[in-house]
Amino acid sequence: MSASVDLFSRIQSLKTPESGNADGLAVETIVKAIIAAVRTEGDAAVRRYAAEFDKIEMEAFEVTQEERAQALADLDPQTRADTEFAIANVRAFAEAQLATILPLEVEPLPGLHLGHRVIPIRRVGCYVPGGRYPLLSAPVMTIVPAKVAGCAEVIACLPPGAHPAMIAGCHLAGADRIFRIGGAQAIAAMAYGTETIPAVDKIVGPGNAFVNEAKRQVFGPVGIDQLAGPSEIYVVADATGDAEMIATDLLAQAEHDVRTRVGLITTDRSLGEAVIAEVERQLLDLPTASVAGEAWRRMGEVVFCTDEADMIAYSDHIAAEHLQVHTLDPRAFALRLSNYGSLFIGTAASVVYSDKCCGTNHTLPTMGAGRYTGGLWVGSYVKICTHQWLEPAGVAAVAPAAIRQSASEGLEGHRRAAALRPARQQFER
Protein backbone atom coordinates (compact mmCIF):
# COMPACT_ATOMS: atom_id res chain seq x y z
CA MET A 1 0.00 0.00 0.00
CA SER A 2 1.68 3.20 -1.13
CA ALA A 3 1.66 6.72 0.23
CA SER A 4 -0.74 7.77 -2.52
CA VAL A 5 -3.63 6.26 -0.54
CA ASP A 6 -5.41 9.15 1.15
CA LEU A 7 -8.05 8.61 3.83
CA PHE A 8 -9.78 11.90 3.19
CA SER A 9 -12.89 11.07 5.20
CA ARG A 10 -12.61 8.58 7.99
CA ILE A 11 -14.36 8.11 11.30
CA GLN A 12 -12.12 6.18 13.66
CA SER A 13 -13.68 3.12 15.32
CA LEU A 14 -14.32 3.11 19.04
CA LYS A 15 -13.29 0.23 21.25
CA THR A 16 -15.92 -2.46 21.63
CA PRO A 17 -16.15 -5.37 24.08
CA GLU A 18 -14.47 -7.58 21.49
CA SER A 19 -11.33 -5.43 21.55
CA GLY A 20 -8.43 -6.38 23.71
CA ASN A 21 -9.66 -4.28 26.67
CA ALA A 22 -11.17 -5.02 30.06
CA ASP A 23 -14.60 -5.78 28.60
CA GLY A 24 -13.04 -8.30 26.21
CA LEU A 25 -11.32 -9.98 29.13
CA ALA A 26 -14.65 -10.08 30.95
CA VAL A 27 -16.24 -11.88 28.00
CA GLU A 28 -13.41 -14.40 28.00
CA THR A 29 -13.79 -15.04 31.73
CA ILE A 30 -17.56 -15.38 31.62
CA VAL A 31 -17.42 -17.77 28.68
CA LYS A 32 -14.76 -19.88 30.35
CA ALA A 33 -17.02 -20.32 33.39
CA ILE A 34 -20.03 -21.18 31.22
CA ILE A 35 -18.11 -23.82 29.29
CA ALA A 36 -16.76 -25.38 32.48
CA ALA A 37 -20.24 -25.53 34.01
CA VAL A 38 -21.86 -27.07 30.95
CA ARG A 39 -19.06 -29.57 30.60
CA THR A 40 -19.43 -30.78 34.19
CA GLU A 41 -23.14 -30.26 34.89
CA GLY A 42 -24.66 -30.84 31.46
CA ASP A 43 -28.36 -30.05 31.05
CA ALA A 44 -28.62 -28.53 34.52
CA ALA A 45 -26.14 -25.79 33.61
CA VAL A 46 -27.81 -25.17 30.26
CA ARG A 47 -31.16 -24.86 32.00
CA ARG A 48 -29.72 -22.47 34.59
CA TYR A 49 -28.18 -20.22 31.93
CA ALA A 50 -31.43 -20.16 29.95
CA ALA A 51 -33.15 -18.77 33.03
CA GLU A 52 -30.34 -16.32 33.78
CA PHE A 53 -29.61 -14.99 30.28
CA ASP A 54 -32.79 -15.65 28.31
CA LYS A 55 -35.26 -15.28 31.20
CA ILE A 56 -36.92 -18.53 30.16
CA GLU A 57 -37.50 -21.59 32.34
CA MET A 58 -36.73 -24.58 30.13
CA GLU A 59 -37.99 -28.08 30.76
CA ALA A 60 -37.17 -29.63 27.37
CA PHE A 61 -34.60 -28.19 24.99
CA GLU A 62 -35.37 -30.11 21.82
CA VAL A 63 -38.05 -28.88 19.44
CA THR A 64 -40.54 -31.70 18.91
CA GLN A 65 -41.86 -32.83 15.54
CA GLU A 66 -45.24 -31.39 16.52
CA GLU A 67 -43.66 -28.02 17.27
CA ARG A 68 -41.83 -28.12 13.96
CA ALA A 69 -45.08 -28.80 12.15
CA GLN A 70 -46.81 -25.96 13.97
CA ALA A 71 -44.01 -23.51 13.18
CA LEU A 72 -44.24 -24.52 9.54
CA ALA A 73 -48.02 -24.13 9.53
CA ASP A 74 -47.72 -20.66 11.06
CA LEU A 75 -45.15 -19.51 8.53
CA ASP A 76 -46.46 -16.93 6.09
CA PRO A 77 -46.92 -18.66 2.69
CA GLN A 78 -44.86 -16.09 0.80
CA THR A 79 -42.11 -16.25 3.41
CA ARG A 80 -42.07 -20.03 3.05
CA ALA A 81 -41.89 -19.77 -0.73
CA ASP A 82 -39.03 -17.28 -0.50
CA THR A 83 -37.19 -19.49 1.99
CA GLU A 84 -37.59 -22.52 -0.26
CA PHE A 85 -36.33 -20.44 -3.20
CA ALA A 86 -33.20 -19.59 -1.20
CA ILE A 87 -32.76 -23.22 -0.14
CA ALA A 88 -32.99 -24.41 -3.74
CA ASN A 89 -30.35 -21.91 -4.89
CA VAL A 90 -27.96 -22.60 -2.02
CA ARG A 91 -28.39 -26.36 -2.54
CA ALA A 92 -27.78 -26.13 -6.29
CA PHE A 93 -24.59 -24.11 -5.83
CA ALA A 94 -23.36 -26.40 -3.02
CA GLU A 95 -23.99 -29.46 -5.22
CA ALA A 96 -22.02 -27.86 -8.03
CA GLN A 97 -19.16 -27.09 -5.64
CA LEU A 98 -19.17 -30.62 -4.23
CA ALA A 99 -18.90 -32.01 -7.75
CA THR A 100 -15.50 -30.31 -8.04
CA ILE A 101 -14.14 -32.07 -4.92
CA LEU A 102 -13.07 -35.44 -6.27
CA PRO A 103 -11.40 -38.51 -4.79
CA LEU A 104 -7.87 -39.15 -6.01
CA GLU A 105 -5.78 -42.22 -6.92
CA VAL A 106 -2.31 -41.81 -8.47
CA GLU A 107 0.78 -43.99 -8.97
CA PRO A 108 3.72 -41.53 -8.96
CA LEU A 109 6.24 -44.39 -8.89
CA PRO A 110 5.73 -48.00 -10.05
CA GLY A 111 4.08 -49.85 -7.20
CA LEU A 112 3.49 -46.72 -5.05
CA HIS A 113 -0.21 -45.89 -4.87
CA LEU A 114 -1.34 -42.63 -3.24
CA GLY A 115 -4.75 -41.08 -2.97
CA HIS A 116 -7.39 -39.34 -0.93
CA ARG A 117 -11.04 -39.77 -0.12
CA VAL A 118 -13.70 -37.11 0.40
CA ILE A 119 -15.38 -38.02 3.68
CA PRO A 120 -18.36 -36.10 5.13
CA ILE A 121 -18.02 -34.98 8.73
CA ARG A 122 -20.27 -37.27 10.74
CA ARG A 123 -22.12 -34.79 12.97
CA VAL A 124 -22.10 -31.00 12.72
CA GLY A 125 -23.65 -28.36 14.91
CA CYS A 126 -25.10 -25.23 13.33
CA TYR A 127 -25.49 -22.21 15.58
CA VAL A 128 -28.38 -20.08 14.35
CA PRO A 129 -28.30 -16.56 15.85
CA GLY A 130 -31.44 -14.89 17.14
CA GLY A 131 -30.68 -11.22 16.59
CA ARG A 132 -33.14 -8.34 16.47
CA TYR A 133 -34.89 -9.73 13.40
CA PRO A 134 -35.79 -13.29 12.27
CA LEU A 135 -33.00 -13.86 9.73
CA LEU A 136 -34.39 -16.85 7.85
CA SER A 137 -31.34 -16.98 5.61
CA ALA A 138 -29.11 -17.90 8.58
CA PRO A 139 -30.15 -21.57 8.92
CA VAL A 140 -30.18 -21.96 5.14
CA MET A 141 -26.51 -21.00 4.87
CA THR A 142 -25.25 -23.38 7.56
CA ILE A 143 -27.61 -26.37 7.33
CA VAL A 144 -28.15 -26.83 3.58
CA PRO A 145 -24.45 -27.27 2.64
CA ALA A 146 -24.08 -29.78 5.47
CA LYS A 147 -26.89 -31.89 4.06
CA VAL A 148 -25.47 -31.63 0.54
CA ALA A 149 -22.06 -32.72 1.86
CA GLY A 150 -23.63 -35.87 3.28
CA CYS A 151 -23.19 -35.25 7.01
CA ALA A 152 -24.96 -38.04 8.87
CA GLU A 153 -26.55 -35.71 11.42
CA VAL A 154 -27.05 -31.95 11.49
CA ILE A 155 -27.86 -30.33 14.83
CA ALA A 156 -29.26 -26.79 15.01
CA CYS A 157 -29.20 -24.59 18.11
CA LEU A 158 -31.02 -21.29 18.32
CA PRO A 159 -31.82 -19.02 21.28
CA PRO A 160 -34.95 -19.93 23.28
CA GLY A 161 -36.56 -16.61 22.43
CA ALA A 162 -35.93 -16.83 18.68
CA HIS A 163 -38.86 -16.09 16.38
CA PRO A 164 -40.90 -19.26 15.64
CA ALA A 165 -40.24 -18.70 11.94
CA MET A 166 -36.59 -19.57 12.66
CA ILE A 167 -37.66 -23.05 13.75
CA ALA A 168 -39.50 -23.41 10.45
CA GLY A 169 -36.38 -22.22 8.64
CA CYS A 170 -34.21 -24.83 10.38
CA HIS A 171 -36.76 -27.51 9.53
CA LEU A 172 -37.02 -26.55 5.86
CA ALA A 173 -33.23 -26.36 5.56
CA GLY A 174 -32.99 -29.98 6.72
CA ALA A 175 -31.89 -29.94 10.37
CA ASP A 176 -32.15 -33.41 11.87
CA ARG A 177 -32.56 -32.09 15.41
CA ILE A 178 -33.32 -28.57 16.66
CA PHE A 179 -32.59 -27.32 20.18
CA ARG A 180 -33.67 -24.11 21.90
CA ILE A 181 -30.30 -23.20 23.36
CA GLY A 182 -28.43 -19.98 22.73
CA GLY A 183 -25.20 -18.24 23.57
CA ALA A 184 -21.97 -19.70 24.85
CA GLN A 185 -23.87 -22.50 26.58
CA ALA A 186 -25.08 -23.77 23.20
CA ILE A 187 -21.52 -23.90 21.89
CA ALA A 188 -20.35 -25.73 25.02
CA ALA A 189 -23.25 -28.19 24.81
CA MET A 190 -22.51 -29.01 21.17
CA ALA A 191 -18.77 -29.26 21.85
CA TYR A 192 -18.91 -31.63 24.81
CA GLY A 193 -22.45 -33.02 24.79
CA THR A 194 -24.97 -33.20 27.62
CA GLU A 195 -27.64 -35.68 28.63
CA THR A 196 -29.86 -34.19 25.93
CA ILE A 197 -27.59 -32.60 23.32
CA PRO A 198 -25.18 -34.84 21.43
CA ALA A 199 -21.55 -33.78 21.02
CA VAL A 200 -20.75 -32.75 17.46
CA ASP A 201 -17.55 -32.95 15.43
CA LYS A 202 -17.64 -29.39 14.08
CA ILE A 203 -19.52 -26.19 14.95
CA VAL A 204 -20.42 -23.60 12.33
CA GLY A 205 -22.39 -20.39 12.25
CA PRO A 206 -22.00 -16.79 13.45
CA GLY A 207 -23.07 -15.29 16.75
CA ASN A 208 -22.39 -12.52 19.23
CA ALA A 209 -19.18 -11.89 21.17
CA PHE A 210 -19.98 -14.65 23.67
CA VAL A 211 -20.68 -17.21 20.95
CA ASN A 212 -17.51 -16.23 19.11
CA GLU A 213 -15.41 -16.50 22.25
CA ALA A 214 -16.95 -19.86 23.11
CA LYS A 215 -16.05 -21.19 19.66
CA ARG A 216 -12.50 -20.01 20.19
CA GLN A 217 -12.25 -21.74 23.56
CA VAL A 218 -13.69 -25.11 22.50
CA PHE A 219 -11.66 -25.33 19.28
CA GLY A 220 -9.42 -28.38 19.27
CA PRO A 221 -11.62 -31.17 20.61
CA VAL A 222 -14.19 -29.88 18.14
CA GLY A 223 -13.70 -28.08 14.83
CA ILE A 224 -15.07 -24.64 14.03
CA ASP A 225 -15.66 -22.81 10.77
CA GLN A 226 -14.16 -19.44 11.68
CA LEU A 227 -14.15 -16.66 14.25
CA ALA A 228 -16.48 -14.10 12.78
CA GLY A 229 -16.47 -10.44 13.72
CA PRO A 230 -19.00 -7.73 12.85
CA SER A 231 -20.05 -7.56 9.21
CA GLU A 232 -18.10 -5.60 6.59
CA ILE A 233 -18.77 -4.12 3.17
CA TYR A 234 -16.39 -2.22 0.89
CA VAL A 235 -16.93 -0.90 -2.61
CA VAL A 236 -14.10 -0.29 -5.07
CA ALA A 237 -15.22 2.25 -7.65
CA ASP A 238 -13.83 4.51 -10.33
CA ALA A 239 -15.41 7.60 -11.85
CA THR A 240 -18.27 5.50 -13.28
CA GLY A 241 -19.57 4.77 -9.76
CA ASP A 242 -23.11 5.76 -8.81
CA ALA A 243 -23.14 7.64 -5.50
CA GLU A 244 -26.77 6.82 -4.69
CA MET A 245 -26.29 3.09 -5.31
CA ILE A 246 -23.04 2.91 -3.36
CA ALA A 247 -24.50 4.78 -0.39
CA THR A 248 -27.58 2.55 -0.43
CA ASP A 249 -25.45 -0.60 -0.43
CA LEU A 250 -23.23 0.66 2.39
CA LEU A 251 -26.22 1.49 4.57
CA ALA A 252 -27.94 -1.81 3.76
CA GLN A 253 -25.06 -3.63 5.42
CA ALA A 254 -24.54 -1.02 8.13
CA GLU A 255 -28.02 -1.66 9.54
CA HIS A 256 -26.85 -5.09 10.74
CA ASP A 257 -24.87 -3.75 13.69
CA VAL A 258 -23.33 -0.53 15.01
CA ARG A 259 -19.91 -2.20 14.59
CA THR A 260 -20.38 -2.98 10.89
CA ARG A 261 -17.38 -1.76 8.91
CA VAL A 262 -18.34 0.09 5.71
CA GLY A 263 -16.14 1.78 3.17
CA LEU A 264 -15.57 3.10 -0.32
CA ILE A 265 -12.21 2.86 -2.10
CA THR A 266 -12.13 5.08 -5.14
CA THR A 267 -9.91 6.81 -7.66
CA ASP A 268 -12.45 9.63 -8.03
CA ARG A 269 -12.47 12.18 -5.21
CA SER A 270 -15.71 13.76 -6.36
CA LEU A 271 -17.44 10.37 -6.18
CA GLY A 272 -16.20 9.92 -2.63
CA GLU A 273 -17.53 13.30 -1.60
CA ALA A 274 -20.86 12.56 -3.30
CA VAL A 275 -21.16 9.23 -1.47
CA ILE A 276 -20.54 10.92 1.89
CA ALA A 277 -23.29 13.45 1.17
CA GLU A 278 -25.63 10.74 -0.11
CA VAL A 279 -25.15 8.58 2.99
CA GLU A 280 -26.10 11.52 5.20
CA ARG A 281 -29.15 12.26 3.03
CA GLN A 282 -30.40 8.67 3.13
CA LEU A 283 -29.93 8.42 6.88
CA LEU A 284 -32.56 11.13 7.31
CA ASP A 285 -35.41 8.76 6.42
CA LEU A 286 -33.87 5.29 6.94
CA PRO A 287 -35.91 3.46 9.62
CA THR A 288 -32.78 1.70 10.87
CA ALA A 289 -30.72 4.91 10.98
CA SER A 290 -30.04 4.54 14.70
CA VAL A 291 -27.94 1.47 13.90
CA ALA A 292 -26.73 2.24 10.38
CA GLY A 293 -25.84 5.83 11.22
CA GLU A 294 -23.87 4.78 14.27
CA ALA A 295 -21.97 2.22 12.18
CA TRP A 296 -21.19 4.91 9.58
CA ARG A 297 -19.98 7.36 12.22
CA ARG A 298 -17.89 4.78 14.08
CA MET A 299 -16.61 2.51 11.32
CA GLY A 300 -17.15 4.27 7.99
CA GLU A 301 -14.36 5.37 5.69
CA VAL A 302 -13.91 6.75 2.20
CA VAL A 303 -10.45 6.23 0.73
CA PHE A 304 -8.99 8.06 -2.25
CA CYS A 305 -6.33 6.31 -4.36
CA THR A 306 -4.44 7.95 -7.19
CA ASP A 307 -4.64 4.94 -9.49
CA GLU A 308 -6.12 1.46 -9.87
CA ALA A 309 -3.00 -0.27 -8.59
CA ASP A 310 -3.24 1.55 -5.25
CA MET A 311 -6.97 0.91 -5.10
CA ILE A 312 -6.33 -2.83 -5.51
CA ALA A 313 -3.51 -2.76 -2.94
CA TYR A 314 -5.68 -1.05 -0.34
CA SER A 315 -8.60 -3.38 -1.01
CA ASP A 316 -6.37 -6.44 -0.62
CA HIS A 317 -5.04 -4.95 2.61
CA ILE A 318 -8.55 -4.59 4.03
CA ALA A 319 -9.67 -8.04 2.75
CA ALA A 320 -13.32 -7.09 3.22
CA GLU A 321 -15.99 -9.67 3.97
CA HIS A 322 -18.16 -8.32 1.14
CA LEU A 323 -16.41 -6.54 -1.73
CA GLN A 324 -18.38 -4.85 -4.50
CA VAL A 325 -16.70 -3.84 -7.77
CA HIS A 326 -18.19 -0.78 -9.48
CA THR A 327 -15.72 0.03 -12.26
CA LEU A 328 -15.83 0.56 -16.01
CA ASP A 329 -14.89 -3.08 -16.66
CA PRO A 330 -15.77 -4.86 -13.41
CA ARG A 331 -15.13 -8.42 -14.59
CA ALA A 332 -11.59 -7.63 -15.72
CA PHE A 333 -10.96 -5.59 -12.58
CA ALA A 334 -12.21 -8.43 -10.37
CA LEU A 335 -9.51 -10.76 -11.67
CA ARG A 336 -6.88 -8.45 -10.19
CA LEU A 337 -8.28 -8.69 -6.64
CA SER A 338 -7.04 -11.40 -4.28
CA ASN A 339 -8.29 -10.82 -0.74
CA TYR A 340 -12.00 -10.80 0.10
CA GLY A 341 -14.73 -12.98 1.55
CA SER A 342 -17.06 -12.83 -1.43
CA LEU A 343 -16.87 -10.67 -4.55
CA PHE A 344 -19.81 -8.84 -6.10
CA ILE A 345 -18.90 -7.99 -9.68
CA GLY A 346 -20.74 -5.12 -11.35
CA THR A 347 -23.53 -2.86 -10.16
CA ALA A 348 -26.22 -5.53 -10.58
CA ALA A 349 -24.59 -7.80 -7.97
CA SER A 350 -25.87 -6.63 -4.59
CA VAL A 351 -24.60 -8.06 -1.30
CA VAL A 352 -28.23 -8.37 -0.26
CA TYR A 353 -28.88 -10.97 -2.98
CA SER A 354 -26.14 -13.19 -1.54
CA ASP A 355 -27.20 -12.47 2.03
CA LYS A 356 -30.65 -13.81 1.30
CA CYS A 357 -31.11 -16.14 -1.60
CA CYS A 358 -28.91 -16.12 -4.72
CA GLY A 359 -26.95 -19.25 -3.77
CA THR A 360 -23.50 -18.27 -2.52
CA ASN A 361 -22.94 -18.54 1.22
CA HIS A 362 -23.19 -15.44 3.38
CA THR A 363 -21.06 -16.83 6.24
CA LEU A 364 -17.77 -15.14 5.33
CA PRO A 365 -14.39 -14.21 6.83
CA THR A 366 -14.08 -10.85 8.58
CA MET A 367 -11.34 -8.85 10.31
CA GLY A 368 -8.85 -9.44 7.49
CA ALA A 369 -9.22 -13.22 7.49
CA GLY A 370 -9.99 -13.02 3.78
CA ARG A 371 -6.22 -12.84 3.30
CA TYR A 372 -5.93 -16.55 4.10
CA THR A 373 -9.36 -18.15 3.89
CA GLY A 374 -12.66 -18.09 2.09
CA GLY A 375 -16.11 -18.42 3.61
CA LEU A 376 -18.31 -21.29 4.65
CA TRP A 377 -18.99 -23.70 1.78
CA VAL A 378 -19.81 -27.33 1.15
CA GLY A 379 -16.10 -28.15 1.47
CA SER A 380 -16.27 -27.02 5.11
CA TYR A 381 -18.31 -30.14 5.86
CA VAL A 382 -16.02 -32.78 4.36
CA LYS A 383 -12.54 -34.08 5.17
CA ILE A 384 -9.93 -34.80 2.52
CA CYS A 385 -8.13 -37.82 4.00
CA THR A 386 -5.11 -39.38 2.31
CA HIS A 387 -4.20 -43.07 1.96
CA GLN A 388 -1.44 -45.15 0.44
CA TRP A 389 -0.70 -48.75 -0.47
CA LEU A 390 2.50 -50.25 -1.86
CA GLU A 391 3.47 -53.13 -4.08
CA PRO A 392 6.98 -54.68 -3.92
CA ALA A 393 8.27 -52.24 -6.53
CA GLY A 394 6.96 -49.34 -4.47
CA VAL A 395 8.64 -50.59 -1.30
CA ALA A 396 11.90 -51.02 -3.21
CA ALA A 397 11.65 -47.43 -4.39
CA VAL A 398 10.93 -45.69 -1.07
CA ALA A 399 12.42 -47.96 1.62
CA PRO A 400 16.13 -47.12 1.10
CA ALA A 401 15.57 -43.38 1.51
CA ALA A 402 13.33 -43.93 4.56
CA ILE A 403 15.95 -46.21 6.12
CA ARG A 404 18.75 -43.69 5.59
CA GLN A 405 16.71 -40.75 6.86
CA SER A 406 15.66 -42.64 10.00
CA ALA A 407 19.25 -43.61 10.72
CA SER A 408 20.53 -40.06 10.25
CA GLU A 409 17.84 -38.80 12.65
CA GLY A 410 18.83 -41.38 15.29
CA LEU A 411 15.37 -43.00 15.23
CA GLU A 412 16.23 -46.69 15.35
CA GLY A 413 12.59 -47.79 15.67
CA HIS A 414 11.76 -45.92 12.50
CA ARG A 415 14.74 -47.49 10.71
CA ARG A 416 13.70 -50.99 11.71
CA ALA A 417 10.10 -50.47 10.54
CA ALA A 418 11.33 -49.11 7.21
CA ALA A 419 13.78 -52.01 6.77
CA LEU A 420 11.36 -54.80 7.75
CA ARG A 421 9.24 -54.65 4.57
CA PRO A 422 11.92 -55.20 1.94
CA ALA A 423 13.37 -57.96 4.13
CA ARG A 424 10.09 -59.87 4.13
CA GLN A 425 9.63 -59.97 0.34
CA GLN A 426 5.86 -60.35 0.78
CA PHE A 427 3.41 -57.51 0.68
CA GLU A 428 -0.32 -57.15 1.14
CA ARG A 429 -2.46 -54.71 -0.67
Largest CA distance in the chain: 83
* 41 labelled catalytic: no
Active-site annotation holder among 321, 326, 387, 391: 321
Active-site annotation holder among 213, 256, 301, 322: 322
> Cα–Cα distances in Å, from 363 out to 94, 101, 103, 105, 164?
14, 20, 26, 32, 22
Distance CA 192, CA 94 (A): 29
Strands 322-326 and 342-345: parallel
Choose among 170, 173, 145: nearest CA to 84.
173
3-state SS assignment for residue 382: strand
E-state strands within 218-329: 223-224, 232-237, 261-266, 301-305, 322-326
Counting Cα atoms < 13 Å in the Cβ hemisphere of 21 gives 7
Distance CA 290, CA 296 (A): 10
* 28 labelled catalytic: no
Distance CA 370, CA 310 (A): 18
Distance CA 317, CA 371 (A): 8
Q: What share of the chain is helix, strand, coil (3-state, %, to 5)?
A: 45, 20, 35
Please answer whether residues 373 and 353 qualify as being in contact, where contact means their C-beta atoms are separated by less than 8 angstroms.
Answer: no
Counting Cα atoms < 13 Å in the Cβ hemisphere of 187 gives 32
3-state SS assignment for residue 339: coil
Backbone phi and psi for residue 337, each to the nearest 5 degrees, phi listed first:
-95, 140
Buried/exposed 216-249: b ≥16 CB within 10 Å, e otherwise: ebbeeebbbbbbbbbbbbbbbbbeebbbebbbbb
Q: Which residues touch 281 (CB under 8 Å, ≥6 apart)?
A: 247
Q: Using the 8-state DSSP alphabet, how is residue 222 labeled?
A: B
Angle of the 22-41 helix axis to the 209-218 helix axis, nearest 10: 60
Q: What is the DSSP string of 160-192?
A: TTS-HHHHHHHHHHT-SEEEE--HHHHHHHHHH
Please identify every residue annotated as catalytic.
Answer: 321-322
